Amino acid sequence: MATEQTTGQPSESISSVLSERRKFPPPEAFSSKSHISSMEQYEKLYADAAADPDKYWGELAGQFHWFKPWDSVLEWNAPFAKWFNGGKTNISYNCLDVHVNSWRKNKAAIIWEGEEGNERILTYGELHRQVSKFANVLKIAGIKPGDRVAIYMGMVPELIIAVLACARVGAVHNVIFAGFAAHAITERVNDSRAKMVICADGTRRRGGSINLKNIVDEAIVNTPSIRNVIVLKVTNEKITMHDGMDHWWHDLMGLAEDECEAVQLDSEHPLFLLYTSGSTGKPKGILHTTGGYMVHAASSFKYVFDIKDEDIYFCTADIGWITGHSYMVYGPLLNGATVFMYEGAPNYPQWDRFWDIINRHKITIFYTAPTAIRAFIRAGNEWVTKHDLRSLRLLGTVGEPINPEAWMWYHKYVGQEKCPIVDTWWQTETGGIMVSPMPGATPTKPGTATRSLPGIMVDVVRKDGTACEANEGGYLVIKQPWPSMLRTIYGDDERYEKTYWSEFPGMYFTGDGARKDDDGYIWIMGRVDDVVNVSGHRLGTSEVESALVSHEAVAEAAVVSRPDDIKGNALVAFVTLKDGYEGDAKLRDALGKHVAKEIGAIAKPDEIKWAKGLPKTRSGKIMRRLLRELASSNEIKGDVTTLEDIGVIENLREQEDE
Ligand code: PRX
C-alpha cells in the first residue's frame, strides 16, 4: 500500500493508488451520547441543509447573541459573499459575556501549562475581565474599529486576551507565528498597514528562550504605519524599550478599567487577517469577517468535537495558524468549553510531554497534526504506554493527509481502540472544518477525512469542472459559499478571484487533489500547486526561492518537495550560484541560516543541491516536475520533450552520484 503524493500543475491528470479497506464504526458508548449519533441523523441534516441552506445557517446563527438581527442570510455576488448582512454582533461578546451571564461564569475557560510546569487557570469571568481591560488599553492607545493590529507572541494566555480584546473593539487582529523572522513581520505589517504590534519580550522553547522583542525592533525599522508596541513580560529578556513607542503590557493594564462594552459591529466587519503561503512569493492576507466566521467556527467545533461542558479539550496547534484561531480560541470559547493550552515543545523535557499532560489534566479531547504523530511513532511506544490515557474520549488530526499506519498507531496507542478519530480537512481560507467524520455517526477509515459537514458542498471534479466518478482522481472544489469562507485577499480582490474562483467557474478551488471512494469519502492526495505542507505548515516554494535568491551568492533557485517520513514533505532546493562562489558545506550552511532568517526555521531546506543550470522549457519556465522527480528518486520518468537543454538534467544527476 502506498499513498501517492500528488504534485504538478492542474493540467496533469491525477491517479490515485491508495486502497484502504479497514473501517471503524463509532463505538456505541460514544454514539449514544453524541450530538449527531447516527448516519441517518447526519444524512437528514445534510439533505435538509442542502435543500435550504439559508434555513440551515439561519437557524445556527440564531443561537448567538445579535444586537440587531440580519436582513438576509446570504447575499452572493459571486465570488463576493455577505453573510447575515445587516446584522450586528460581536464575537468577543459571544465568547465571553454570554457565558459570564450564565452558570459558566466561574467555569475554567483556559487551563494553561508553561513549559516549566507552572500553571494558570482563567475562568470565563476572569478572562472577561482581562479582555475588557486590554480592550480599554487598545482604545486609550487610539485603536479604532477596522484598525489592524499585529500580534507576535508565544503560547501564553495573553495571546488569547489580545485577540479577543481586538475583536471586542472591532480592531482586525493579525497574529504572526512567533517562529517567523523579522522580514515576515515587516511584510505583514506593511501589507496590512498595521498601527500597533503587541508582542512579548520573549518566548520559551525547549528550556531556553527566544528574544521576540529584538526581532520586532528589527522588523519595525521599515514599517511606517506602526505607532506603538505593547510588550508583555514573559521571559525577562534583555530588551530595549524605546521612549514613546514601546509600552509595557503590565503598566497599561494597571491603569485600565475592567469594564468595556463590546462594540456592536456589522456582521461583515473584518475580524482578522491571517497570512498564508500561495503559489507566488508574496504571502496572502486571508480576510475573515465576523458573523459568518462565528457561526461556522462554533457549530463545526460543536459537531466535530462533540463538545460537552465536562470536556477538557487540548489542541496542540499554535495560535499563529488558523487551527489555533478557530479551534483554540473562537470555536471552543463560543461553545463555553474548557480549553487546555500548552506553552512549549512536545518533546520537552522528554517525548512524553503530551501524554503526561493528558494524564495529569484528564484531557478528554485531543487534536494534533499527523507530523506530530509520526514523530511520536519514531520516538517509541513506551513514551505513550507508560501513561494512563483513559480520560480521552475523542482524537482529531489536521493539517495534512494522515497515512493509514500513523492513523492505526494513533487509534491503538493513544485512543486505546475506543476513541473515534476525526480527520479534519480544511484550510486557512475556509475558516473552519469542511470535511470530517461526525464522531458519533460516521464509520471512519484510516487516511480519509470522510464526508463534508452539513451545509458544505464539497466535490471532486475533472479539469473541465464535471464531477469525477467514484475513485477517479480530480480536483477538490467547494460548490456553494459557506459562512466562514474568506471574503478576499486583503487589498487584492483580483488575486482573490483569480486564485480561488477562476480555475473552475462558479466553484471555489482548494488547490488540493482528491478522490471520492465508493462510500463518497474524500481522500486528499495533496496540493496540486506550488504550495507544500511541511510538518503541517503551509509553505510556498516560491517564498523559499525568493529568500535563497536574496543571498549574494545565489543566481537562481528552484525549491521542490519530496515525501518525508516525519514531516510529510521535505524541501529540496536546487541552487545555481553566481560566478566566483564555491558550492561547499560552508555555503550550504550559510544558505540554510539565511532562509531561516528571512522566513523562519520551518522554511529551511532539508537539502540543498548545487545546479549548474535549472531545467527549463523553451519559454524559460522552470520544469519543477522534473526537479521533483529528481529530488524523490533521482530518476526522470516523465516527458522531457519540452526541455530546452537535456544536458542540465545529466549534470544534476551526476552531482547526485558524487
Ligand atoms: O492540502 C490541504 C492540507 O492543508 C492545506 C491547508 O493548509 P492551511 O491553510 O495551512 O491549513 C491547515 C490547517 C487547517 C489543505 O489545502 N490539509 C489540511 N487538513 C488536511 C489536509 N490534507 C489532508 N487531510 C487533512 N485533514
The 3-state secondary structure of 506-546 reads CCEEEEEEEEECCCCCEEEEEECCCEEEECCEEEEHHHHHH
> In the structure grid, which three cell numbers stand for residue 238, read together?
534583555
- pLDDT tens for 503-526 read 999 999 999 999 999 999 999 988
What tens digit of pLDDT does each residue of 60-74 get? 999 999 999 999 999
The mean pLDDT value for 227-253 works out to: 98
Q: Is pLDDT larger for residue 58 or for residue 10? A: 58
* pLDDT (mean) for 523-540: 85
The Cβ of residue 346 has, within 10 Å, a number of other Cβ atoms equal to 18
Q: How far is the CA of 276 from the centre of ligand 1 (A)?
A: 12
| Substitution site in 284, 373, 398 for ligand 1 pocket (most atoms within 8 Å of beta carbon) | 398
Q: How far is the CA of 570 from the centre of ligand 1 (A)?
A: 16
Average pLDDT of the residues in 296-301: 98
- For residues 77-105, average pLDDT: 98
Query: Distances in Å between the alpha carbon of 320 and those of 205, 386, 571?
Result: 15, 32, 21
Distance 163 CA to ligand 1 centre (A): 23
Kindly state if the Cβ of 6 falls inside 6 Å of ligand 1: no
Q: Which of 16, 512, 561 to mutate to test the pocket of ligand 1 (most atoms within 8 A of CB)?
A: 512
- What is the longest distance spanned by two Cα atoms in the chain? 73
Q: What is the mean pLDDT of the chain?
A: 93
- Residue 403: closest CA among 284, 294, 526: 526
Pair type for strands 228-232 and 270-276: unpaired
d(CA 284, CA 275): 5
Confidence of residue 15 (pLDDT cuts 50, 70, 90): low
Task: Tell me the three cell numbers of residue 404.
Answer: 493509514
292 lines ligand 1 (CB under 6 A): no
The 10s digit of each residue's pLDDT in 569-610 is 999 999 999 889 999 999 999 999 999 998 899 899 999 999
- We find that the CATH architecture of domain 22-455 is 3-Layer(aba) Sandwich (3.40)
Alpha-carbon distance of 211 to 174, in angstroms, equals: 20
504/352 Cα distance (integer angstroms):
46
Helical residues (DSSP H) of 193-269, grouped into ranges: 212-219, 249-255
Q: Of all atoms in ligand 1, which is nearest to the CA of residue 424?
A: 26
Average pLDDT over residues 291-317: 98
Contact indicator for 271, 167 with CB cutoff of 8 Å = yes
**For residue 157, how far is its CA from the centre of ligand 1 (angstroms)?**
26
What pLDDT, on the 0 to 100 scale, is given for residue 14?
A: 58
Q: How many Å apart are CA 424 and CA 440, to the nearest integer? A: 15
Minimum-distance ligand 1 atom for the alpha carbon of 527: 1
Q: How far is the CA of 155 from the centre of ligand 1 (A)?
A: 22
pLDDT at 11 over 50: no
Q: What CATH number labels 535-657? A: 3.30.300.30
Higher-pLDDT residue of 311 and 401 is 311
CA distance 236 to 202: 7
Give the position, in ligand 1's atom list, of the atom nearest the Cα of 429: 9
**CB-ligand 1 contact for 322 (6 Å cutoff):** yes
Q: Does the pLDDT at position 649 exceed 80?
A: no
CA of 478 from ligand 1 middle (Å) equals 14
Atom of ligand 1 nearest to the CA of 321: 10
Distance 527 CA to ligand 1 centre (A): 9
- C-beta 540 within 6 A of ligand 1: no
Cβ–Cβ under 8 Å, residues 234 and 266: no
Domain ranges of the chain: 22-455, 535-657
Find out whether the beta carbon of 511 lies less than 6 Å from any atom of ligand 1.
Answer: yes
For the chain, the distance separating the N- and C-terminal CA atoms, rounded to the nearest angstrom, is 32
Neighbour tally for 636: CB within 10 Å: 19
Mean pLDDT, residues 101-114 = 98
> With 70 as the cut, is the pLDDT of residue 6 above it?
no
pLDDT at 9 over 60: no
